[in-house]
Amino acid sequence: MNTTSRIEETGEGGRIHVSQETAALIKEAGKGLWLQKRADTVTAKGKGDLETYWLICSSRDGGSVVDGDIGTPEIGIVSDLNNSGRYQEFDARASRLVDWIVISMSKLLCNIVARRNARVSPDPEENGKPKHMRGLKDGKTYLDEVKEIIHLPDFDPKAYRKEQDPATIELPEEVIEQLREYVTCIAKMYRSNPFHNFEHASHVMMSVIKLLSRIVAPQDLLEDDNQKEGNLLAALHDHTYGITSDPLTQFACAFSALIHDVDHTGVGNPQLIDENPQLGDRYRNRSVAEQNSLEISWDLLMESRFEDLRAVIYKSKSELRRFRQLVVNSVMATDIMDKDLKELRNARWDKAFKKGDSADFVDKSKTDEVNRKATIVIEHIIQASDISHTMQHWHVYRKVSTS
């Protein structure tokens, strides 16, 4: 009671004052970035001098928020979801979009489970739980993690023959509940602006799913009536560079579309850097909005409350690594205004597709070429889906279509 009384007496108006013990619990919950160590100590009868903390709800307006032990700027955490005018109101329409996203992502998760259960060769990295990939390493940015080549699984005809119909798979109730909670949290983290809101993210996700299903028209591969199903699936795998035969890749693309504009302020990166230099410094003034969205969303997924959901998305270190690489590449690809990044992507496209006919890459000795193509195609899928948001307003559509 003495401690509580002194904390109350020495507090400040409009600020939340917490004890060292409460701060320790907040840190254990993975929210250490919400804390700012108080400069002076508090003296309590029978306790002596005590270290206390301010609980910081948001630092989006450029304020410096530093934890006394961690020393990391509080960027990538959003808790002030009810700040008037900044974040979208979670209304009935948003709720319906959440319902649709949960259904769509549940189907993709069922595909992952079906393929994983049918795998003939065990994953050598499946022993033990994969470690969390939380946040960024010191001095690193997500752009440092972008890969020129992401290796997708080889075609396994035996797994296809063993695979259970994904429509018959029922995900555990706790997984569905955690998926709904995650999507709802993401929806509430979107700001209310014309082109980077939750409706836009839902639109991009829908487009990504459709494009993934239309990378190649199956009827083009059915010209030979005598073609066996196994041969057809192998041909489809080759024609899509392995994208359509890896459910985890498809889920990662949809997941990236969902999160790619989280907490977007509605302004371009140059203006965002001017308004919030601390944010710019954290990400070296490159793809700031995109990296911020990725860090917020990824750290949210890594929270303990989504453990069952994560266990369905990936079971091994190799699956976690592939999922992370796909999400990082996809979200970073949505920054199309950076001229240097655009030139790098164009060079990668030329390297992948100006070497000859795609049939040349069926040879397993050229696995890197196949995976390079898959990697750049995945990035272009989310870019195409993201750009289509320019058609959401009639006056913009008219301007684009007549120019």
Alpha carbons 164 and 98: distance in angstroms, whole number = 27
pLDDT for 164-173, tens place per residue? 888 899 999 9
Which residue bears the tokens 């993201």?
386
3-state secondary structure 392-403: CCHHHHHHHHHC
Name the band, by pLDDT with cuts 50, 70 and 90, for residue 217: very low
pLDDT for 248-269, tens place per residue? 999 999 999 999 999 999 999 9
Which residue bears the tokens 């397993």?
364
Please say whether the beta carbons of 102 and 176 come within 8 A: yes
Bridge partners of residue 49, in order along the sequence: 43
Please say whether the beta carbons of 351 and 375 come within 8 A: no
Across 90-94, 137-141, 230-234, 254-258, the highest mean pLDDT is recorded for 254-258
Alpha carbons 170 and 172: distance in angstroms, whole number = 6
Name the band, by pLDDT with cuts 50, 70 and 90, for residue 342: confident
Alpha carbons 102 and 89: distance in angstroms, whole number = 19
Predicted TM-score of the model (pTM): 0.71
Name the band, by pLDDT with cuts 50, 70 and 90, for residue 398: low
Name the band, by pLDDT with cuts 50, 70 and 90, for residue 134: low
> Which range (13-22, 91-100, 190-199, 277-286) has the least confidence?
13-22
Residue 358: what pLDDT?
46
Does residue 314 have a pLDDT over 90? yes
The better pLDDT of the pair 403, 120 is held by: 120
% pLDDT > 70, the chain: 72
Spell out the domain ranges in the chain. Answer: 2-55, 92-402
Alpha carbons 402 and 330: distance in angstroms, whole number = 30
pLDDT for 362-373, tens place per residue? 444 478 888 898
Please say whether the beta carbons of 379 and 330 come within 8 A: yes
Residue 393: what pLDDT?
55
Cα 236 to chain centroid, rounded:
27
Query: Which two tokens mark 340?
Result: 């240097």
Average pLDDT of the chain, as a whole number: 78
Query: Which two tokens mark 315?
Result: 């079971």
Task: List strands edge to edge, sheet with 35-37.
Answer: 16-18, 53-55, 35-37
Across 129-143, 190-204, 220-234, the highest mean pLDDT is recorded for 190-204
> Of 1.20.58, 3.30.230, 1.10.1300, 3.30.70, which CATH number belongs to 92-402?
1.10.1300
Mean pLDDT, range 138-161, rounded to an integer: 83
